[in-house]
Amino acid sequence: MEQQRISDQIAESLMAKIAEGELKPGERLPAERALASRLGVSRPSLREAIQKLNSKGLLETRRGGGTYIREGIEPSFVDPLLAILKELPESRFDVLEIRHALEGSAAYYAALRSSESDKANIRRKFETMIGKHGIGDPMDEARADAEFHLSIVEASHNLVLLHVMRGLFTLLMSSISHNLEKLYTLPRVFQPLSNQHRRLMEAVLEGDPERARQAAQAHLTFVEESLQQIFRQLASNREHLRELN
């Protein structure tokens, strides 16, 4: 009675992989023949599954080119927001407030649920983030920072949370990208940041939920205050310029 079409099973499994982030938007799917043999199914069955996802708008197929995962899946939460943020710069801190609430929980559940591979991934992202510092590309460093935080969110094994956080990061990146370098180049800001990241990671790796939550919240409080200072400074600079006119 539990007889499910295998094309449905395939479609479900692919959707799960997209939802879990194993397959990222814009990425290319393996060729049909290769994927079919890897999944141990026939090519027609795989194609039926692909057509379904295609009609749902999750995939995009170009004849002779390949099958790609459609972009614009995350913006379902974010899309209307980009317009808002352009009109209302103050809402930058709205994003930080939400991160403050969410990252604490993410760290908490990550400490509880993370598998060994999750932990290895977090460590790897931490190392690359450290390695990016001082090379001179603040945007690259910011991306590595975001990926470190997202690796913790992934380890929380909450798919909805992962999607929301991804949306928030793209939002944050696009709204304060020009001010990010300040956050990474000032030594008296970077050193505490690095320490906070390390404490957060260690709490998660050791499986201490409460400490992880506190570490995440302390980190976000610091980021929030640092950005506040930077923006205040910029504002006062603008004031000075205005006086000079």
Partner DNA sequence: CTTTTTAAATTGGTAATACCAATACTCGGA
Partner DNA sequence: TCCGAGTATTGGTATTACCAATTTAAAAAG
List contacts with DNA (CB under 7 A): 3, 5-7, 29, 31-34, 40-45, 47-48, 50, 61-67
Strand partners, 28: 68
C-beta of 20 vs 137, nearer to its own copies: 20
DSSP output for 24-84: -TTPBPPPHHHHHHHHTS-HHHHHHHHHHHHHTTSEEEETTTEEEEPS-STHHHHHHHHHH
Q: Would the CA dihedral through 225, 231, 234, 239 be positive or negative?
A: negative
Q: Confirm if 243 and 227 have CB atoms less than 8 A apart.
A: no
Q: Confirm if 145 and 125 have CB atoms less than 8 A apart.
A: no
**Is residue 85 near its own copies by the rule CB under 8 A?**
yes
C-beta of 7 vs 156, nearer to DNA: 7
Among 31, 120, 159, 186, binds its own copies (CB under 8 A): 159
**Is residue 58 near its own copies by the rule CB under 8 A?**
yes
Among 6, 39, 41, 98, binds its own copies (CB under 8 A): 98
E strand residue ranges, the chain: 59-62, 66-69
Among 6, 15, 41, 150, binds its own copies (CB under 8 A): 15
Question: How far, in Å, CA of 93 to CA of 168, rounded?
Answer: 11
Residue 205 binding result from its own copies, DNA, none, given CB thresholds of 5 to 8 Å by partner type: none
Question: How far, in Å, CA of 159 to CA of 22, rounded?
Answer: 12
**Is residue 95 near its own copies by the rule CB under 8 A?**
yes
**Is residue 167 near its own copies by the rule CB under 8 A?**
yes
User: Which residues contribute to the site for its own copies (CB under 8 A)?
Assistant: 3, 7, 11-12, 15-16, 18-19, 44, 47-49, 51-52, 54-58, 63, 70, 73-74, 76-85, 87-88, 90-91, 94-95, 97-98, 100-102, 104-105, 109, 158-161, 163-164, 167-168, 171
